Structure 1
Amino acid sequence: MPAEQLEVLLDTPAMREALAVVLERTDGGSEEIQWNDVSDALSSGQWGRLIGQDVLVGTSSGFVLANPDQVRDVLDGTEVDASAENQADDIEPEMWTWYDKAAGLGVLILFMGYWNSQIRNVVASIDDLVLGPITDVLPFYAIIIVLAVVTGLYSTVLQSTLMDHKKMQTYQDRMNDLKERREAAKERGDDEALERIQKEQIEAAGDQLGMVKLQFRPMVWIMLLTIPVFLWLRWKVRGGHLGAGETGMVLPLAGSVGWQDTVGLMPTWIVWYFLCSMASRQLIQKTFDI
C-alpha cells in the first residue's frame, strides 16, 4: 500500500488507535493475528477496513501486516500530527459580519410578505419595474423558466462562495470520529471509553451549532434574493395580474392545469418553478463543475 493511501486510511484518531493496537499485538508486525486477538479493542468495521485496504493480508492461519515498517513510520508521523490537532482542538467559530446580520433581518421582513399584503405589494411592485417588460415578450411559463435559471445560478454561486468548505469538513470529520470511536467502544463493551466519549460529544455540541451557522449564512443571502421572486410570482398569479390568455399550462402526468390549481400539494406555478429550478441547478453545477 502506498504511504499516501495509508495516511488517508488513518484520517481519524480511531483508525490510528486501531492500527497501533494491531501493530503492538503482532509484536511489531512479526507475528500473525486473528480477529479474536483484537476484538476487545477494535470494532468489526475497523477490522474489515484494515483488511479491505490491504493493510492486513490473509495467510493460511490468520493475518499479517503487509508492510509493518511502513505502518510504523506512518503511525510515528501521524502521532505528531495528532498532537498538533489536539493543541488546536477548538475550531474558530463562524462569525457573521454586520451585513450578514442585516441580510438576515431583511429576510425576516421579506418573509412576512407571504402573509402581509402591504409588504407583498410593495416588493412585487418594485420587482415589476424590472420583470414587467419581460411579460410583454415571453409567456408566463417561460418567465418562470428564466427566473428559475437565474435563481439557480446565483444560489449555486453563493453556496460555493460563502460556504467555508474546509471548516465544514473539519466539523464533519470530528463528528464522524466520535461516532466511530463510540461504535468501537460499544462493540468491545468498554463502558469507561463510552462514558469518556459521551463527555466529548457533550463538549462538541457547539460543533452542531457551528455547522448550522456555516450552512445558514449562504442561505440567508440566497433567500434575500429569492423571496422577492416568489412574492412577485404570487402577486402575479393570485393578484389577477396575468394576461387574459395566461390561464395555465400542460404538465406531464397532470395534463392541462390552471396556475392556481393544486398539483400534488402545491399550486401549479410553484411546482413548475421547483421543477425548472432543480433542473437548472443540476445543469449549472455540471457545466461549471461546482
Structure 2
Amino acid sequence: MKGKLKQVVDSLLIGLGLLFMFGVFSADFRYSLANSVAPLLDPLLALPIHVVIFILASITATYSSIIQKYAVDMQKFKEIHEKVLAFQKEYMEAMKQNNQYKLKKLEEKRPEIQKLQGEMMGMQFRSMFYTVVVTLPIFYWLWVRIYDITPEVHYKGYYGLESKFMVTVPFSGTIHVSEPIFILPWWIFWYFMCSVLLSQFIKKVFKLG
C-alpha cells in the first residue's frame, strides 16, 4: 500500500513539475500560477523587497535540500558517480597511450556505464521536478509583482523609479530590482545567490548532503 501511494505521489509531483516547467512559455500560465500563491505571499510585501527575496530563497533552499536528501539515494548516487568518473579517467588514459587492447575492453563496458549514467540522470531529474513544484510558483509571483504585470498591459510589465522595489547595492547605488547586475536582473541574482549559499549552509548544519 505504501509503495503504491509513493508511486502515485511521485507521478503527481513529476507531472506537476513538467507542467510548471513547460508553463514558462505561456505568460497566461505564469500569471495564473503567480496569482494562485498570491494570498500566501502578498503579505510579505510589507517588508523590504530584498528581505522578501531572502525569505523566499530560504524556503526554496530548505525544500530543495530536504528533497535531495529523501528523494535521491545519495549513497547510490555517489557510488554511480565514482564508477562513471573512474571509467572516464581510465578511457582517457588509454586514449592518450593509444592502448587499443585496453580501449577494446573498455568499449565492452560502455553499455553498463551508459546505463549507470542514465540512472544517475534519472535521479537528478526526479529531484528537479520535485523542486520546481515549489520554486516556480514563488519565482512567477516575484516576476508578476516586481514588474507590475497585469492582463491589461498584456504581460509586458512596467515600473517607475518611484517604485517601492528599489534597493541600494555596492558600486551601483540605488537601483530598481529589475536592473541588471552581472547581466542578470538584480532580483534574480540576489535570489539565486541567497538560495545557493543557504542550501550549502542547510546541508552542512543538518547533514542533508
TM-score by length of 2: 0.80
Q: Which has the higher contact order (CA 8 A, sep 6+)?
A: 2
Distance 1:141 1:210, change over 3 A: same
Say if 2:38 is the partner of 1:120: no
Larger radius of gyration: 1
Distance 1:181 1:120, change over 3 A: closer
Contact 1:112/1:119 (<8 A) preserved: no
Q: 2: distance between equivalents of 1:255 and 1:125?
A: 32
Contact 1:260/1:268 (<8 A) preserved: yes
Q: 1: distance between equivalents of 2:186 and 2:62?
A: 23
Q: 2: distance between equivalents of 1:98 and 1:267?
A: 38
The offset of 1:275, in angstroms, is: 2.0
Q: 1: distance between equivalents of 2:57 and 2:19?
A: 23
Q: Deviations over 1:222-250 (max 9, x none)?
A: 11110000000001011258996513101
Q: How many residues align?
A: 194
The alignment-based identity, stated in percent, is 24
Secondary structure at the counterpart of residue 246 of structure 1 = coil
Distance 1:173 1:284, change over 3 A: closer
Q: Deviations over 1:47-91 (max 9, x none)?
A: xxxxxxxxxxxxxxxxxxxxxxxxxxxxxxxxxxxxxxxxxxxxx
In structure 2, runs of 5+ residues without a counterpart are: 1-5, 151-158
Secondary structure at the counterpart of residue 204 of structure 1 = helix
Q: CA RMSD in A?
A: 2.6
In structure 1, runs of 5+ residues without a counterpart are: 1-95
Contact 1:113/1:231 (<8 A) preserved: no
Say if 2:201 is the partner of 1:283: yes
Say if 2:70 is the partner of 1:161: yes
Q: 2: distance between equivalents of 1:124 and 1:218?
A: 22
Which residue in 2 is equivalent to 1:175? Answer: 84
Q: 2: distance between equivalents of 1:144 and 1:131?
A: 11
Residue of structure 1 aligned with 2:181, choices 254, 260, 263 = 263
Mapping of 1:208-223 within 5 angstroms? 208-223=117-132
